[in-house]
Amino acid sequence: MLTADRAYHNRSPLDCMRAGAIGAAVRGSEGKEIRSTVQGRVAVVTGAGAGLGRAYALLLAERGAKVVVNDLGGARDGGGKSSQAADKVVQEIRSKNGTAVADYNSVEDGHKIVETAVSAFGRIDILINNAGILRDKSFARISDQDWDLVHAVHLRGAFKTTQAAWPHFKKQGYGRIVMTASNSGLLGNFGQANYSAAKMGLVGLSNTLAIEGAKGNIHCNVIVPTAASRLTEDILPPEFFAELKPELIAPVVAWLCHEDNTDNGAIIESAAGWAGKSYIVTSQGSVLRKRIGDAVSIEDVRDRWTDVTDMSTAKYRESIQEASGELLNVLEAVRDGPKEDEISKTFQITDKDVILYALAVGTPISDLHLLYESHENFCALPAFWINTGLVALMESDIIVKAIPGEDISLANLLHGEQYLEIFEQPATNGPLEVRCKVADVLDKGSGAVVIVDVESYDQNGTKVAFSQITSFFVGAGNFGGRRTSPRAINAVEVPKRKPDATIRQMTNPQQAAVYRLTGDLNPLHIDPDFAAIGGFAKPPLHGLCSLGFAVRHVLRQYANSDPRLFKALKVRFTKPVFPGETLQTDMWQEGSRIHFQTKCVESNNVVIGSNCNLVSVENGIS
């Protein structure tokens, strides 16, 4: 699957134009003019006699590059030959005091084009493979000639020209290559089987050249332009054709050729003043057998096909080595068969999830950076990252299976303690994999305690957070287990002095109803009959909802409400809170550690006892 970055990943350039979104997709010229490090570079632009190639050549020459303007001067279908197109662009460049020479060779004779550059200027630094032709026909009507000619110009031509330039790039320890692909290659297009196959072939060629050239400071990237040209004049709707100016794409290509640009192996789409990055992603997929040695049947594939094709948690893989590593992980997972006390689940986190959580824990509109996805400091409240592990556990039965010989009801489940540590700020948009494992099971007599470790990983496989969920099951004890665990992370008692700061906030009568939408759907917190089974007069508020309030209070008091200063916490849930009651968070500062304790004002019960550890960033702790 190919996708583009962030807000425009599901829009084509034409969609952006229809929505009037071009202005939103393009940043204005806010900074100073870029330092011209194409000055004195030698650039070869193929197919530079008109359209995009001409725009590239003119801009590079304007910025001080010496340009070889290559154009065979043929027709759109590849027929004919003329020197007029290349000569005209060279004249334009020279009329503006630029430096350029013309080249009329076919890209299949790429070595001759490179020889022109070396003969005229002594070197070659930049190669833009832009030459192209069209011979559009429906698949059934494509002749061998239609296929061969299109591939000869687009794919073989780029190969031959780049191969001729490669030794020069290697010798001088510098080179910038741009391949020209197309949305027809990335997405397909009726009547362009030959063209789309060649264009996608250029993506594969670029990927390999990026790998092979990296050590030699040779970068290869792909531009996917949509511009008004002789190739698109009778394809695009007339109302858009005039807006697709090649001059709006040329700066994007020039930046790809710039020595300050470190991109290598990127696919960049651009049209009408818009640009976005595209990449190939792979679904999480599904293991089709339980263990090595098992066969895979058609029925196995059918039964797991939804998971195989689910792209909601698709992941970008940086290299073939990473893909191979993931395969080894799969083989490792099935070698000994599934482990009943471990689960893994990937969530597709969105800005909406982050905002809903913030609202569910009483965040005021004054904390706009927690509620507005376009705020420059938008981020998630720390306790949000507990929810994914909790949801994964509730959707599985590993906790229930961990308690010997017991039939456990959710009405008897209490969230006893919670630990959370953030290693790196997770992204508010993208996949998050959580791996849950039962760390220990304790026999407390009146009930059983199950300790679950939860590790969270981002799309790059980096562990971004760790949490430990301690659950108490009423009436499930006396099975002969041990009472304490070396794996448990213990809470620290608060100082025995008056609090340094206190914040009060009333919860809403609908607080639990809203909070459950963040993922904790335990009916104990919404259904009076279910709550009665658990011994409650009415549904209590989620302990994690109260924790969300408390953590916000600590961040407001000591970190200017900046979640990025948070490091870790451990809390113990001691008494219930009911929606509509008032929470009071008392706080004590000891260095970078902030102890806090939360009370219910109406009952005067301590409902959370804990410590919250903040990491200072510059003057973050006040």
SS3 for 232-273 is CCCCCCHHHHCCCCHHHCHHHHHHHCCCCCCCCCCEEEEECC
The model's pTM = 0.55
Taking only the tens place, the pLDDT of each residue in 42-60 is 999 999 999 999 999 999 9
pLDDT bin (cut points 50, 70, 90) of residue 339 is low
Whole-angstrom distance, CA of residue 72 vs CA of residue 51 = 14
Instruction: Please report the sign of the dihedral spanned by the C-alpha atoms of residue 359, residue 363, residue 366, residue 370.
Output: negative
Do 269 and 183 form a contact (C-beta atoms < 8 A)? yes
User: Residue 129 corresponds to which tokens in the numbers above?
Assistant: 């493979």
Indicate the SS3 state at residue 336.
coil
The answer on pLDDT for 573 being more than 70 is: yes
Taking only the tens place, the pLDDT of each residue in 231-240 is 455 555 666 6
> Would you state the pLDDT for residue 38?
84
Nearest to 124 by CA among 64, 42, 48, 196: 42
User: Residue 583 corresponds to which tokens in the numbers above?
Assistant: 């929470």
Percent of the chain with pLDDT over 70: 83
Mean pLDDT in residue range 165-193 = 94
Q: Which helix (H) or strand (E) element contains residue 471? A: strand 463-474
Nearest to 602 by CA among 568, 579, 570, 572: 579
Instruction: Write the CB contacts of 30 (distance below 8 Å, at least 6 apart in sequence).
Output: none
pLDDT bin (cut points 50, 70, 90) of residue 2 is very low
> Would you state the pLDDT for residue 23?
29
> Would you state the pLDDT for residue 475?
78
Instruction: Write the CB contacts of 496 (distance below 8 Å, at least 6 apart in sequence).
Output: none
The more confidently predicted of residues 26 and 419 is 419
Q: Which of 11-25, 247-261, 320-334 has the highest mean pLDDT?
A: 247-261
Q: How far is CA 593 from the centre of its chain?
A: 32
Instruction: Please report the sign of the dihedral spanned by the C-alpha atoms of residue 95, residue 96, residue 99, residue 105.
Output: negative
Whole-angstrom distance, CA of residue 434 vs CA of residue 385 = 10
> Would you state the pLDDT for residue 518?
92
The more confidently predicted of residues 500 and 396 is 500
The answer on pLDDT for 78 being more than 70 is: no
Whole-angstrom distance, CA of residue 304 vs CA of residue 316 = 22
Nearest to 445 by CA among 412, 413, 482: 482
Q: How far is CA 483 from the centre of its chain?
A: 43
Residue reference for tokens 């098992």: 294
Nearest to 65 by CA among 32, 36, 86, 95: 36
Residue reference for tokens 């594939």: 301
Q: In this predicted structure, which of 453-457, 532-536, 585-589 has the lowest mean pLDDT?
A: 532-536
Q: Which long-range contacts (CB under 8 A, 24 or more apart) does 528-534 make?
A: 530/410, 530/411, 531/411, 533/409, 533/411, 534/411, 534/412, 534/474
Taking only the tens place, the pLDDT of each residue in 115-132 is 999 999 999 999 999 999
pLDDT bin (cut points 50, 70, 90) of residue 436 is very high
Terminal Cα distance for the chain, rounded: 47
User: Residue 433 corresponds to which tokens in the numbers above?
Assistant: 């994999």
> Would you state the pLDDT for residue 4?
41
> Would you state the pLDDT for residue 410?
57
The more confidently predicted of residues 241 and 120 is 120
Q: Give me the active site residues, please.
A: 195
User: Residue 438 corresponds to which tokens in the numbers above?
Assistant: 């039962």
Query: Domains along the chain?
Result: 2-21+37-282 (3.40.50.720), 284-338 (1.10.287.4290), 342-614 (3.10.129.10)
Mean pLDDT in residue range 398-402 = 75
> Would you state the pLDDT for residue 564?
92
Instruction: Write the CB contacts of 589 (distance below 8 Å, at least 6 apart in sequence).
Output: 500, 501, 558, 595, 621
> Would you state the pLDDT for residue 1?
36
pLDDT bin (cut points 50, 70, 90) of residue 18 is very low
Whole-angstrom distance, CA of residue 620 vs CA of residue 589 = 14
Pairing of strands 267-271, 218-225: parallel
Mean pLDDT in residue range 261-269 = 94
Q: What average pLDDT is seen over the chain?
A: 85
Do 460 and 325 form a contact (C-beta atoms < 8 A)? no
Mean pLDDT in residue range 75-99 = 85
The more confidently predicted of residues 396 and 4 is 396
Nearest to 276 by CA among 47, 459, 15, 32: 15
User: Residue 115 corresponds to which tokens in the numbers above?
Assistant: 């020889």
The more confidently predicted of residues 164 and 438 is 164
Pairing of strands 447-457, 463-474: antiparallel
Whole-angstrom distance, CA of residue 595 vs CA of residue 587 = 6
Taking only the tens place, the pLDDT of each residue in 552-563 is 999 999 999 999
The answer on pLDDT for 622 being more than 70 is: no
Do 616 and 592 form a contact (C-beta atoms < 8 A)? yes
pLDDT bin (cut points 50, 70, 90) of residue 428 is very high
Partnered with residue 456 across adjacent β-strands are: 434, 465
Q: Which of 371-385, 480-494, 515-529, 599-613 has the highest mean pLDDT?
A: 371-385
The answer on pLDDT for 481 being more than 90 is: no
The answer on pLDDT for 250 being more than 90 is: yes
